[in-house]
Amino acid sequence: MEKRIRKILNEAAKEFESAGDESEIDQLYVKYFGKKSPLNKLTKKISTLDPALKPKAGQNINKAKSTLEKLFDRAKRNVKTKKASATKYIDVTAPGKKITIGHLHLVSQAIEEIVTIFSKLGYSLQSYPEIDWDWYAFESLNMPKDHPARDDWETFFVKAPPNPKLGNQVLTPHTSNGQVREMENVKKPPIRMINIARCYRRQIDISHTPMFHQFEGLLIDKNISIPNLKGTFDYFTTNFFGKNRVTRLRPHHFRFTEPSFEVDVTCDVCGGKSCRICKSGWLELGGAGMVHPKVLEAGKIDPKKYSGFAFGWGIERTISMKTKIPDIRLLYQNDIRFLEQFS
C-alpha cells in the first residue's frame, strides 16, 4: 500500500507542476480529492487488510492527503504570480526593439531632386503615357519608317490592332513622345516642360536595364537659341553634381533636333583630367538639341515664330555619374544591403 501511495503522490506532483492555469488545477483537485480519487479507492481497501495493519494504513493515507493539499496550494500560488508578472511588470532594463525606418529608392530620390532643380527655372512636371502610339514616339518626331529604333529588335511593340492615324502602340523607348503631346496640350508657347517616365528598350548589360527612366526637357519660346540650352545644362549640372562639374556639347545626330548634341559632364573621379573610368575626362549624360521645325509643325507650332530646345537623359545613368554605381542593374535587384546605403 505504501508503494501505491508514493506512486500517486509522484504523479500528482508532476501534474500540479505542469498545470498552466487555474482551471487545469481545479480539474486536478477533482481528480485527487473527488469521490473517485485514487486515495479514496485505497481508503476503501483498508477494511480488507489485516487488522494489525489497518491503523498504519489509515495514517499513511491521511498524510498523503495533506501532502496533496500542499501541492494544490502551491500550484495555485504559482499560477497567480505568473499571471501577475505577465500583466503588471515591465522590465525597464530590457533592450528595446529596433524599429527599422525605410527610405525612398535612389531613383525616386533623384526624380525629386531633378524636379526641384528644374522647377526653379520655371519648368513644370508633366506626365505622358508609357504605352503610346507610334505617331508620338516616332513618326511626329521626324523618324523615318526604316529608322533602326522602329525595329522589333530595338523597341517593344504591343500586340493590338493599330490606329489608322496613329499606328501601332509601343512601350515608349524614350520620353520624347511627350514633346508633341505637350505642344498639343499647351497649344501656344511658352512651354517649359519636364516629363519623367519609365522607358523600355531591348537591352541589358552593366549600363542598361530593359526598364529605365528618362527625364525629358522641352522649352519653346521666341528667340531661343543654343546659349539658352547650354546655360540650362550648366545650371542643372552644378546643382545636381556640384559646383566643380562642367558640361560640354558634342555634335551628334537625332532626327528630331537640329542641330543635335550629346551632353557630357566632367568626370568626378579625375575632375576632367582623364582616368580609367572616363578615359577622356568626360562622361556622357544624354542627348539634346534645338527642336526640329518638322516636330514643331507636328505639334502645330509655327517654326518661323518660335524655336526651342529639348533634351532627354537617363535617370539611372545620371545617378551612376554622381554616386559611382558600378553596375546600374544593382538598382533593380531589391538587395536591401545595396539600397540602404543611400538613405
Q: Which residues bind ligand PHE (CB under 6 A)?
A: 174, 176, 254, 257, 286-289, 310-312
Listed in order, strand segments (DSSP E) in the chain are 124-126, 131-133, 157-163, 167-171, 191-200, 211-221, 247-254, 257-266, 282-291, 307-314
CB of 338 to ligand PHE, least distance (A): 26
Sheet order of strands, 191-200 included: 124-126, 191-200, 211-221, 307-314, 282-291, 257-266, 247-254
CB of 189 or CB of 287, closer to ligand PHE: 287
CB of 312 to ligand PHE, least distance (A): 3
Query: To which residue does cell 524636379 refer?
Result: 115
CB of 187 to ligand PHE, least distance (A): 21
The answer to whether the CB of 36 falls within 8 A of the CB of 56 is: no
CB of 16 or CB of 256, closer to ligand PHE: 256
CB of 176 or CB of 232, closer to ligand PHE: 176
CA distances from 34 to 2, 20, 172, 233, 280 (A): 21, 21, 83, 93, 96
CB of 161 to ligand PHE, least distance (A): 27
CB of 173 to ligand PHE, least distance (A): 7
Nearest to 254 by CA among 319, 185, 310, 170: 310
CB of 325 to ligand PHE, least distance (A): 20
272: left (phi over 0), alpha (psi -120 to 50) or beta: left
CB of 272 or CB of 289, closer to ligand PHE: 289
CB of 102 to ligand PHE, least distance (A): 32
Nearest to 120 by CA among 247, 232, 242, 249: 232
CB of 24 or CB of 258, closer to ligand PHE: 258
CB of 60 or CB of 176, closer to ligand PHE: 176
**How far apart (Å, rounded) are the C-alpha atoms in residues 264 and 117?**
19
CA angle, 128 as apex, 148 and 213 as ends, to 5°?
60
**How far apart (Å, rounded) are the C-alpha atoms in residues 215 and 238?**
17
CB of 174 or CB of 245, closer to ligand PHE: 174
